Amino acid sequence: MPLVEHSSLPSFAVLRDEGDEILSDGEARQRSTPALHIGFLNMMPDAAFVVTERQFMHLVGSSKHDAQFYVHPFSVPGLDRGVATQRYIDTHYVPFDDLTLAGLDALIITGANVANPSLELEAFWEPLQRTIDWATQNVASVLCSCLATHAIVKSLYGIDRTPLPRKCWGVFGHRRVAAHPLLRGVADRFDVPQSRHNQISRAQLEARGLKVLVESEEAGVHVAVSPDERFVFFQGHPEYDANSLLKEYKREVHRHIDGTRPDYPPHPQRYFSPEAARLADAYANDVREALARGAAPPAFPEAELEAQLGNTWRDTAKIMFDNWLGLVLEATSATTHANTRKDTP
């Protein structure tokens, strides 16, 4: 069950403070339980970089399987980074070449922000292709999130994502549409946060032989698997904290205040409670009145809004991640992996 603190990555201390079980590397080596080594390719923008790392590590560490989990974070060139985030990567992340030499059992790839209409034009496209090519031959399973899903189905199956008429943004009801070991113990219907401007449809996926497992009438496909089941594709964000969409909403409000967004952002759908919606609307009126007077708007009521939020998707996310890790354990010789794998930073 526990994560192993095998490096100086600050997220280990944060997760321990939040109640996660964290083993030191020395303690882990004294145990005879299986070990899984999971690569974590973090492509998220700076504002969400560290918190996304922690969110996925928490889901991995929440597994009920009798195993030890080593998470090895890395990134790729071609992503716009500020000085602080690049320093964090240089200090705490592992070079991809070191991971390929040491070996991994599985891989998680996050979403990313893009600046071009075609994903192939992104500077990170070629480094990502190298990662995919290696993973296809060398890991048991790859779990892809949001933009990573769009990029990898484009790379492997020639599927182009399509723009949505408006951003799919909020917490949406989803349902199981197929049986699969990933969904053992998952309710027939459950919530998932979504935040994207583009989509891959069920028809596109099924035309290429992929199997859709979870979808929403409003938000479309959430989970699909590749024909060989090596790749698991998420369009949604089960890793999100209760306040993740609130932070996105706050950023969009500030974009309106500083003039980079002309319209005031709508609420994320089905996310705010009635009281939170009332608070958000009252603040929107305050902002409009202040801007009309040429005055500075009041501070965003983040704490008041956060107090009204709930997380209706985390339990399902933990079950699904536990199922995924169980499938990886079944597919690997994890019982001896801890003693045969080379050490990495």
The predicted model scores a pTM of 0.94
pLDDT band at 32 (very low <50, low <70, confident <90, very high): confident
* Domain interval for residue 199: 3-240+312-340
Q: Given 5, 53, 239, 248, which residue is catalytic?
A: 239
**Tokens 């303690």, residue?**
27
Dump pLDDT digits (tens) for 259-283: 999 999 999 999 999 999 999 999 9
Residue 28 lies inside a defined structural domain of this protein: yes
Question: Are 293 and 112 contacting, i.e. CB atoms less than 8 angstroms apart?
Answer: no
239 flagged as catalytic: yes
Q: Which among 80, 181, 178 has a CA at the least distance from the CA of 122?
A: 80
Whether 72 and 101 map to the same domain: the answer is: yes
Q: How many folded domains does the chain comprise? A: 2
Q: Given 237, 248, 256, 337, which residue is catalytic?
A: 237
Whether 125 and 201 map to the same domain: the answer is: yes
Average pLDDT over residues 340-344: 51
For position 164, which CATH number holds? 3.40.50.880
Q: Given 6, 37, 72, 146, which residue is catalytic?
A: 146
Residue 19 lies inside a defined structural domain of this protein: yes
Across-strand partners of 171? 193
Q: Could you give the CA distance from residue 258 to residue 138 in angstroms, rounded to a whole number?
A: 47
Distant-in-sequence contacts of 51-57, Cβ < 8 A, 24+ apart: 51/241, 51/244, 52/110, 52/239, 53/9, 53/11, 54/11, 54/14, 54/15, 55/239, 55/240, 55/241, 55/244, 56/108, 56/110, 56/239, 57/3, 57/11, 57/15
Whether 72 and 216 map to the same domain: the answer is: yes
Could you tell me what percent of the chain has a pLDDT over 70? 96
Whether 41 and 174 map to the same domain: the answer is: yes
Whether 93 and 135 map to the same domain: the answer is: yes
Whether 226 and 267 map to the same domain: the answer is: no
Residue 345 lies inside a defined structural domain of this protein: no
- Judging by DSSP bridges, how do beta strands 3-5 and 22-24 pair with one another? parallel
